[in-house]
Amino acid sequence: MAKEKSTFAQSLSKFILVISAVGFGLRLAVKGLINPENLAIFLVLVVIAAAIDSVWVKLILACAGIAFFLLDFTNNNVSQFKAAAIAVGALLLALFGLYMMVGGMRKRR
């Protein structure tokens, strides 16, 4: 099987992952949870992961971003975090269902 050529949209979606990781990393740095050296290492690893195009890395990064947002939004209150996580999980499930209904998982040839 020949390897499919990467389109501009696929390359752009990989770079959007890097952009979101920069926002996530800068937010961690502003909060004082990560120092600049570790931020640089984190961003280099994200660029490598985006170039490799690993679905698992994208999923883990997205979950970490959502979890950090919820912790920040709830001021590290565990009971509020659980309630917010359930609400956001329901929203994500509904959005995934909508994505499936409009044919987001179809193979394009």
Supply the DSSP string of 31-63, one letter for each residue: TTSS-HHHHHHHHHHHHHHHHHT-HHHHHHHHH
38-47 CB contacts, 8 Å cutoff, 24+ apart = 43/18, 46/17, 46/18, 46/21, 47/18
DSSP conformational letter for 74: T
pTM above 0.85, yes or no: no
Mapping DSSP to helix (H, G, I), strand (E, B) and coil, where does residue 105 land? coil
Q: What is the pLDDT of residues 1-57, one digit of tens each?
A: 445 556 877 777 778 888 888 888 888 888 888 888 988 988 888 888 778 777 787
53 in the same domain as 105: no
The distance of Cα 77 from the centroid of its chain, to the nearest Å, equals 23
65 in the same domain as 34: yes
How many domains does the chain divide into?
A: 2
Domain range for residue 26? 1-73
69 in the same domain as 80: no
